[in-house]
């Protein structure tokens, strides 16, 4: 399947139960993978949380005991019990603070350790995914996965997990303390839990959809942003600013609405929960008040009961806050795991064939067919033999299939059927590393990365020495230009890159390819017209670069075509003419017509 299908659930807000199961299983697997290395720290956090919660649950009991038993002896001038109680209280408070501090440090270290690995893994994965994937999954989405989704996971791991543990424990401990102090208040609590249960179930259902929608639009927002600024030249050149602003505005508005939807749900949930909590407090005060009046309960116990009654619902507040975070984290996890589940379309062979030293770069297409979209072949059944060292020019109308043919040789895509052989070996049986060393594709855009000129030249061979970089630059004829840059090879292209001419960029990318010294060179000749001296330089650079290796050029210049050993005319995914330029001109076919038209265009 060469054309990439969108990852499951990426843009869907309502999933079928089956899809939900699949997404959940995938997310849980990823969660397990990222948490396994930090499992001992998580255990330590849980222990700390148990200690902290136990202390804070014990403190009201201490208070009630002090009121009921340590205040009365004061009348006789005996303050010792009260002093002991006070001391114990302060000691416990200090302990609680220390455990909280340790917990914060520990949870932060958990999230950092867990995410460090995930971040590196995602970046590596994104780079492994085929060109076809990046054509459908825009760079904005990749950015969104690598930034905002990871950030959401981070904040969840930072505080969410220990918050969950402390919430659950504190509810359980408080409920137990309530039941032990006064069973009637405990029973009332049980009754109150019924409406809370239904309310929370409703909130859970609705907010799951709302949060997913929010994250989908958030990714679109980042996507639109990245796309606009990656294509800022086109935006400005075609005065696309206002349309672009409008479209961004529409998504931003949609995002606002989605956030509001989620907040509105919270707006209903939280106050209702608060109201139930207040009703419960009233009930406890009534039960406890009468008990005190009838002498069945001491005042200190009533105080402890009221403290517990206000506290027992507090965790539900933070539980909903946790749920909020949890929802975001779940949908981030779903997207990240979906992204990681994307298969690198061009798979590494299980047992790569190691090419022999005599390999010299012959390329053979054996019954090769290829379609981007199944049923619509971009390249019909093709048989072709390119002997080692031949310079082959591909010509044809736009959309004819020249780039497709070239990209197949560079294995940007895998053939749909048939075989593509490099020195008799199916290229699918070569390791990625070997293939990239043997076949280099120089694209039109001649992309330069931030870094120095030398860094850019040694892109594919970081270990190349300064001298080798210099030799490569000399070979393709770009050395003189680089030498007169302010800092020569150390000039930073991040600040100067934008100002290099297209000819200079092209020469640097030639030097880059020269340094790799591949046996097969696939080259998409730039269409941008250069001035005559630059064109001569580029032409000479190209001749140097292609000398002695099999070269497949998508040719846009007549001079390149005429300099080639062989020309293929491609039309609607088929090779319709094949021969030396002179022979094809003489045969008077499509190529001869093209040359005539070319000549006329040049005014010859």
Sign of CA dihedral 134, 136, 137, 139: positive
Q: Which is nearer to ligand ATP, 396 or 477 (CB)?
A: 396
Question: What is the widest separation between alpha-carbon atoms in the chain?
Answer: 126
Sign, CA dihedral 597-598-603-604, equals: negative
Q: Measured from the CB of residue 136, what is the shortest distance to ligand ATP in angstroms?
A: 9
Of 48, 115, 196, 400, which lies in the binding site for ligand ATP, with binding defined by CB under 6 A? 400
Shortest Cβ distance from residue 496 to ligand ATP (Å)?
29
Instruction: Give the nearest distance from C-beta 599 to ligand ATP in angstroms.
Output: 20
- Measured between alpha carbons, how far is 447 from 508 in angstroms, rounded to an integer? 10
CA distance 145 to 119: 10
Interface with ligand ATP includes 160 (CB under 6 A)? Answer: no
Considering only 91, 399, 424, 548, the residue that binds ligand ATP (CB under 6 A) is: 399
Q: Kindly indicate which of the ranges 319-327, 329-337, 396-404, 575-583 contains the residues binding ligand ATP, using the contact rule CB under 6 A.
A: 396-404
Which is nearer to ligand ATP, 164 or 346 (by Cβ)?
346
Q: Does 403 bind ligand ATP (CB under 6 A)?
A: yes
Considering only 69-77, 342-350, 393-401, 416-424, which stretch makes contact with ligand ATP by CB under 6 A? 393-401
Residues between 245 and 264 that touch ligand ATP (CB under 6 A): none
CA 522 to CA 403: how far, in whole Å?
A: 10
Tokens of 26: 């995938």
Dihedral (C-alpha) 79, 81, 82, 84: value to the nearest 10 degrees? Answer: 120
Eight-class DSSP state of 76 = G
Kindly state whether residue 404 participates in binding ligand ATP, applying the rule CB under 6 A: yes
398/463 with CB nearer ligand ATP: 398
Q: Is 411 in the site for ligand ATP (CB under 6 A)?
A: no
Q: What are the structure tokens assigned to 102, written together? A: 């340790």
Q: Which stretch binds ligand ATP (CB under 6 A): 250-258, 391-399, 433-441, 469-477?
A: 391-399
In DSSP notation, 436-466 reads HHHEEEE-TT----SSBHHHHHTSS-TT--H
Closest CA to 215 of 258, 275, 268: 258
Cβ atoms of 397 and 571 closer than 8 Å: yes
Query: Which listed residue (242, 294, 398, 604) binds ligand ATP by CB under 6 A?
Result: 398
**321 CB burial (10 A radius; 0-12, 13-18, 19+):** middle
> Could you give the C-alpha distances from 482 to 312, 459, 491, in angstroms and in order?
72, 16, 9
C-alpha 223/C-alpha 140 separation (Å) is: 4
Say if residues 42 and 35 touch (Cβ distance below 8 Å): yes
Q: Minimum distance between the CB of residue 249 and ligand ATP, rounded to whole angstroms?
A: 30
Q: Which of 31, 118, 363, 378 binds ligand ATP (CB under 6 A)?
A: 378
CB 337 within 8 A of CB 27: yes
> Tokens representing 576?
């319709």
Q: Does 598 bind ligand ATP (CB under 6 A)?
A: no
- Which one of 135, 433, 480, 487 is in contact with ligand ATP (CB under 6 A)? 135
396 binds ligand ATP, rule: CB under 6 A = yes
Whole-angstrom Cα Rg for the chain: 35
How far is Cα 411 from Cα 404, in angstroms, rounded to an integer? 10
Work out which of 224, 402, 479, 549 binds ligand ATP, going by CB under 6 A.
402
To the nearest whole angstrom, how small is the minimum distance from the Cβ of residue 402 to ligand ATP?
4
Q: Which of residues 465-494 bind ligand ATP (CB under 6 A)?
A: none
Binding span for ligand ATP by CB under 6 A among 198-206, 265-273, 395-403, 558-566 = 395-403
Buried b (16+ CB within 10 A) or exposed e, 547-559: eebbbbbbbbbbe
Residue closer to ligand ATP (CB basis): 65 or 372: 372
What is the closest distance, in whole angstroms, from the C-beta atom of residue 120 to ligand ATP in the complex? 29
Q: How many residues line the site for ligand ATP (CB under 6 A)?
A: 12
Residue closer to ligand ATP, measured from CB, 135 or 487: 135
Interface stretch with ligand ATP, choices 330-338, 392-400, 422-430, 457-465 (CB under 6 A): 392-400
Residue for token pair 């009921």: 68
Please select the residue that binds ligand ATP; options are 160, 288, 401, 541, rule is CB under 6 A: 401
Distance CA 136, CA 9 (A): 15
Does position 19 interact with ligand ATP (CB under 6 A)? The reply is: no
Q: How many CB atoms lie within 10 A of CB 46?
A: 16
Rounded least distance, CB 164 to ligand ATP, Å: 45
| 445 forms part of the interface with ligand ATP (CB under 6 A) | no
Q: Which is nearer to ligand ATP, 400 or 561 (CB)?
A: 400
Residues that bind ligand ATP in the complex, under the rule CB under 6 A:
135, 372-373, 378, 396, 398-404
């Amino acid at each position: 399947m060469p054309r990439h299908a969108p990852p499951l659930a990426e843009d869907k807000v309502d999933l079928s139960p089956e899809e939900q199961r699949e997404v959940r299983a995938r997310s849980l697997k990823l969660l397990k993978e990222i948490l396994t290395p930090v499992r001992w720290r998580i255990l330590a956090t849980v222990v700390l949380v148990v200690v902290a919660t136990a202390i804070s649950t014990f403190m009201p009991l201490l208070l009630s005991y002090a009121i009921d038993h340590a205040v009365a002896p004061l009348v006789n001038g005996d303050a010792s019990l009260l002093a002991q109680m006070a001391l114990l209280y302060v000691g416990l408070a200090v302990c609680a603070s220390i455990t909280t501090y340790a917990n914060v440090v520990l949870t932060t270290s958990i999230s950092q350790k867990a995410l460090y690995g995930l971040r590196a893994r995602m970046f590596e994965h994104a780079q492994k995914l085929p060109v076809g994937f990046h054509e459908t999954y825009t760079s904005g989405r990749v950015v969104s996965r690598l930034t905002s989704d990871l950030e959401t996971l981070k904040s969840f791991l930072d505080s969410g997990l220990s918050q969950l543990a402390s919430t659950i424990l504190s509810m359980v401990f408080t409920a137990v303390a309530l039941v032990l102090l006064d069973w009637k208040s405990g029973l009332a609590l049980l009754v109150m839990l019924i409406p809370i249960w239904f309310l929370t179930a409703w909130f859970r259902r609705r907010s799951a959809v709302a949060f997913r929608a929010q994250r989908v639009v958030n990714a679109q927002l980042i996507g639109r942003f990245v796309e606009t600024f990656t294509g800022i030249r086109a935006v400005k050149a075609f005065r696309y600013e206002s349309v672009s602003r409008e479209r961004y505005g529409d998504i931003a508005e949609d995002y606002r609405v989605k956030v509001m939807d989620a907040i509105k749900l919270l707006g209903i949930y939280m106050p209702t929960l608060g109201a139930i909590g207040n009703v419960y407090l009233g009930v406890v005060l009534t039960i406890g008040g009468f008990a005190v009046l009838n002498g069945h309960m001491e005042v200190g116990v009533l105080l402890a009961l009221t403290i517990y009654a206000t506290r027992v619902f507090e965790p539900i507040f933070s539980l909903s806050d946790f749920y909020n975070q949890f929802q975001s984290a779940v949908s981030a996890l779903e997207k990240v795991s979906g992204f990681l589940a994307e298969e690198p379309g061009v798979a590494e062979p299980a047992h790569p064939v190691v090419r022999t030293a005599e390999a010299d770069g012959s390329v053979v297409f054996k019954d090769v067919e290829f379609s981007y979209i199944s049923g619509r072949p971009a390249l019909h059944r093709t048989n072709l033999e390119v002997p080692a060292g031949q310079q082959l020019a591909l010509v044809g109308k736009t959309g004819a299939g020249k780039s497709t043919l070239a990209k197949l040789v560079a294995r940007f895509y895998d053939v749909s059927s048939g075989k593509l052989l490099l020195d008799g070996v199916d290229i699918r049986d070569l390791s990625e590393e070997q293939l990239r060393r043997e076949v280099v594709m120089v694209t039109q855009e001649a992309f330069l990365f931030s870094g120095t000129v030398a860094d850019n030249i040694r892109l594919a061979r970081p270990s190349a020495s300064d001298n080798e970089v210099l030799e490569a630059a000399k070979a393709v004829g770009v050395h003189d230009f680089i030498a007169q840059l302010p800092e020569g090879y150390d000039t930073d292209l991040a600040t100067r890159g934008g100002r290099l001419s297209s000819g200079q960029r092209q020469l640097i990318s030639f030097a880059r390819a020269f340094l790799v010294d591949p046996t097969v060179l696939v080259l998409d000749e730039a269409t941008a017209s250069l001035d005559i001296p630059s064109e001569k330089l580029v032409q000479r650079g190209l001749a140097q670069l292609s000398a002695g290796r099999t070269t497949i050029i998508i040719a846009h210049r007549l001079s390149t075509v005429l300099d080639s050993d062989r020309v293929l005319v491609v039309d609607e995914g088929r090779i319709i003419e094949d021969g030396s330029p002179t022979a094809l001109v003489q045969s008077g076919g499509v190529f001869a017509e093209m040359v005539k038209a070319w000549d006329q265009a040049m005014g010859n």
